[in-house]
Structure 1
Amino acid sequence: MTDKKLYNYLVSIITLAFLLSGYLLENMGIKYISEGGSPLFKIHVYSYLIFFTFFILVISGRYKTHFTLLSKINKAWMTSVILVSLSIVYGLYKQGTSGMAYFIDTIMSPIILVFLLSALSRERADKLLTFVAWLLLLNSSIAICEFMLNKTLVPVEYENFTFFRSTALLNHALNNALITAALSPILMNKTRVPALIYFAISFLALFCYGGRGAMGLYLICTVFISMGTLKMFVTTGIKIDKLKFSLYQASFVVLILLLALILINTEMGSRILSKLHVDNSAQVRFDVFILLEQLTITEWLFGASDYLMSSVKFFIGVGTIENYFIGWILSGGVIFASMIFISCFYIPFKIASSKSLLMKVSLFSFVLISLTNNALTTKTPALLLLYCVLYCNYIVVNRKKI
């Protein structure tokens, strides 16, 4: 496969991951996340495309080239494949085929995607980053429009949300917040849109998603990575086009005005301003640790009993475990949870260990924000997008121009 064909193929995979969300598929009559239906439809089409390509590479013998191009992360890649494979085998033993589509869509597909990405040239990798940056900007813009209209693009019903939250293309408010806050620091300079305007749209979108933690961390991380430029601007000054500088100033004023309007006129603003203390939503994140106190030694090693799993709502007030690592411990035990965690984050940590500050900040944001919700205990393209952005940026930073 030529570099151009591989790029176009990867663009198709990322587009399908973004556009064909779980709730959109459900509205199309495909039982992707609900019970029942064919097991074949429980796996997303992007996973089929990724594994089909990987299978072709293996039987044709071209996998050797891709593995060589993985270079410094090939050991991390092999370790992740082995660990997630062991996790799948243990999951089959403990729970049967229930939940196996989750392992494939959420964890295994991103790992295999890195294998495919390794053959991209530096130029194509940078182009793919630009494409994802535009997709994320479109997603944020849709979220803002949804919030203004008080109506989601795709019909989604949430019992736990007491006020309107935008769902945009990915159809889950907190997943949107996670991906936007974690990836925007890398992507905001990849489009022709001025970085400050990109930041403003992303920041407003986080308001619309209702992700208070993601919003706060995104603001802190953006200020942190901008310190060098701000210092230069204040001390020695920087060369900048007058029109561009005027746009920066105007976008800053518009951002402040829009934020003020949201804070004053919406329930979200009231929630943020009047409930900066630990409210019920935040309290659930702390209460989830109560579940660990109920575990016996055997349950710590092999997972919680059916009785405890059915009593989650009794202990913490809601039926959802808002911490994926604790969810993994309850599902299969601490060894099982550790294997999944390593398989999920070994490759990103290895990639982010390069000299790029942006990748370190992005990964730090992703891990910290994801721990406050159940994003990684459900089928989601969050890791797929994280791997794509981090590894493409790794290629751009470390691979020579052709």
Structure 2
Amino acid sequence: MHYVILISIILVFTQTLLFSLLGIKINNSSPFILKIAPSLYLLIAVFLHPKFKFYVTREVAFSFIAFSVFFLYSLLLNRDLYISGYINSFLLPILFYILFFSKDGYLRFSNFLIYFVIIFMLANCFEAYLERIFHFKLIKNIDDIRASDKILNALSFRSNAFFGHPLANGQITSLCISFILISYNKLRKKILYLLFFLLAMLCFNTRFSIVLSLITVSFYFLYNIFSNRKVYPRLRRKYIQVIFFILLFFTFLLFETNLGGRLMTEGLYGNDSSSLARTDVLAIFNFLSIKDILFGANDQLISFLMYRTRTDNLIIENPFIVFTLKCGIVLTFFLFYSQYLMIKRSIKSWSPFQKAIVLLPWILNISSNISIAGGAMSISYLLIFIFLYNRNEKNILI
């Protein structure tokens, strides 16, 4: 049972890479059973084992209720919910939360997992470097097939690495950067990790994640320079030197090289479809009734309004907007609030500064693209990182 738990956690990180190596392609026409994350099947098998003891806390009960009500509501009213993606995004983290609050004996692999996660993420960054240097992609997604000419364009090239998509890589790499900042490692080691991950972020060429990560790093050091009384004057001077060097180095890379080219050519917000998809779709709400906003609109009405507002050629890239349009703001609030309660209990011993460094960038990141509305396991990644950090704060990095 211990090894099944270990494999289930490892698969959350390696699933895309493993499927690619095995030649398994997941798309809309794939069987439903293949669209569900393998980790979900393994965890269900663990929970059904008679020797496994777990506790159903209030957070778990509320999350299951919110998950089930949202699912049944969309099913009964025939709302076009991406069911397999919804299960991967919201049911899997509930199971992980139960697992992490079970007996410690079932989680004796935490030290190994810390080493595995950081080595895998470093390897992921190294793969991003290789793809960027040699202009190839280990895992191609549908965007690469549709825009194959852009793959060879140095400015628009985006590494896919092991997670199979630049946005997925941008999200989890940004999360790694946050945990690097709050970890109890020496400053020199932190700087090396930060440079390694930030450079990979330029290879992923995800504009919002690049800017957000640089802001997060800057905020961390500026807080310690000006507000943290526990930081000695000598260390403050080092922090000033570090933040100056990082900002100067990455400013040079952005302006003098092709790295992060989309940010320099298109800006953080431009007239491209990716930017427009995040803002122009808000015009739909001008034509919705209060009832539609509270309880969701049918798919025909949403399609008509997207056509009317000339956004029918765009994909809605904000999960909160997606779920609000389909099932209303009431159920969407309870769905996300239930997940928030699990996260809140997991980090109850953290300081407000630690919470801000991790949660604010994470929330902004998952809000910037379709993420958890498209099946991304962002909440599971966050809970796994929190668990590993809580288990062994000083050794979160090698």
Superposed CA RMSD in Å reads 3.6
Q: Distance in 1 between matches of 2:173 and 2:322?
A: 23
CA contact under 8 A between 1:352 and 1:390: conserved in structure 2? yes
> Could you say which residue in structure 1 is the equivalent of 2:12?
17
CA contact (8 A) 2:317 2:369 kept: yes
Task: Tell me by how many angstroms 1:302 deviates.
Answer: 3.3
Aligned to 2:396: none
Q: Is 2:121 the partner of 1:120?
A: no
Match of 1:134 in 2: 119
- How many pairs are equivalent? 371
* Counterpart residue identity of residue 114, structure 2: L
User: Which one of the candidate residues 381, 390, 395 is aligned to 1:394?
Assistant: 390
3-state SS in 2 of match to 1:322: coil
Residue 162 of structure 2 aligns to a residue whose secondary structure is coil
2: CA distance between counterparts of 1:62 and 1:324? 34
* 2:290 corresponds to: 297
Quick one: which of 58, 63, 68 aligns to 1:75? 58
Structure 1 equivalent of residue 153 of structure 2: none
Question: Once the 2 structures are TM-superposed, how far is the Cα of residue 233 of structure 1 from its aligned partner?
Answer: 7.2
State the shift of 1:126 in Å.
Answer: 4.9
Q: How does 1:147-186 map to 2 (within 5 A)?
A: 147-158=132-143, 159=146, 163-186=156-179
Give secondary structure in 2 for the equivalent of 1:333: helix
Kindly indicate whether the alpha-carbon contact (under 8 Å) linking 2:70 and 2:327 is maintained by their aligned counterparts in 1. no
Determine helix, strand or coil for the equivalent of 2:375. Answer: coil
Q: Which amino acid aligns with 2:136?
A: K
Matched, 1:375 2:371: yes
What is the match of residue 102 of structure 1? 85
Normalised to the residue count of structure 2, the TM-score between the two structures is 0.80
1:220-252 Cα offsets, whole Å, 9 max, x none, are: 2223334576577771459x9xxxxxxx99xx9
Relative distance call for 1:157 and 1:262 in structure 2 (3 A) is farther
2:284 and 2:21 map into 1 onto residues whose CA distance is 34
- Residue 235 of structure 1 corresponds to 233
**What is the alpha-carbon distance in structure 1 between the residues aligned to residue 9 and residue 266 of structure 2?**
37
1:23-82 Cα distance to aligned partner (Å, 9 max, x none):
8747855453x23343222212111111211222xxx2743xx328xxxxx322321122
Following TM superposition, by how much is the alpha carbon of 1:146 offset from its aligned partner in structure 2, in angstroms?
1.2
Q: Is the 8 A contact 2:6 2:109 kept in 1?
A: no
Structure 1, 273-282 or 252-261: larger mean CA deviation? 252-261
Normalising to structure 1: TM-score of the pair? Answer: 0.79
Which digits, 9 at most, give the CA deviation of each residue in 1:132-170, with x for residues without a partner?
A: 222222212211221122211112231489622111111
Alignment counterpart, residue 143 of structure 1, candidates 128, 145, 167: 128
Change in 2 beyond 3 A, CA 1:181/1:259:
same
Match of 1:366 among 362, 369, 372: 362
State yes or no: 1:205 paired with 2:200: yes
- C-alpha change, 1:40 and 1:278, in structure 2 (3 Å) is closer
Assess if the C-alpha contact under 8 Å between 1:147 and 1:166 holds in 2: yes
Cα contact 2:59–2:341 (8 A) shared by 1? yes
**Is the aligned partner of 1:272 residue 2:263?**
yes
Distance apart, 1:116 and its partner CA: 1.2
Question: How far 1:327 sits from its partner (Å)?
Answer: 0.3
2:171–2:362 contact (8 Å) kept in structure 1: yes
Structure 2 unaligned segments of length 5 or more: list them: 151-155, 394-398
Secondary structure of 1:95's match? coil
Is this contact kept in 2: 1:129–1:187, CA < 8 A? no
SS in structure 2 of the partner of residue 304 of structure 1: coil
Go from structure 1 to structure 2 and tell me whether the alpha carbon gap of 1:338 and 1:380 turns closer, same or farther (over 3 Å shift). Answer: same
Identity of aligned residues (%): 22
CA deviation digits over 1:175-211, x for unaligned, max 9?
A: 2111111232214658999221110111111112222
Give CA-to-partner distance per residue, 1:281-311, whole Å, 9 cap, x none.
4343221211222222342233222223334
**Aligned partners of 1:181 and 1:214 also within 8 Å:** yes
SS where residue 105 of structure 1 aligns? helix
- 1:331-356 CA-partner distances (Å, limit 9, x unpaired): 21222212221233221133234334
Displacement after TM superposition at 1:268 (Å): 3.6
Determine whether 1:223 maps to 2:214.
no
Asked if residue 93 in structure 1 is aligned to residue 91 in structure 2, the reply is no
How far apart, in 2, do the equivalents of 1:10 and 1:229 lie?
38
Q: Secondary structure at the match of 1:315?
A: coil
Q: Give yes or no for the alignment of 1:52 onto 2:35.
A: no
Once the two structures are superposed, the pairs formed by residues 204-353 of structure 1 within 5 Å of their partners are 204-227=199-222, 235-237=233-235, 260-261=252-253, 263-266=255-258, 268-269=260-261, 271-276=262-267, 278-280=269-271, 281-311=274-304, 312=306, 315-316=310-311, 318-353=313-348
Q: Which amino acid aligns with 2:263?
A: I
Distance 1:202 1:329, change over 3 A: same
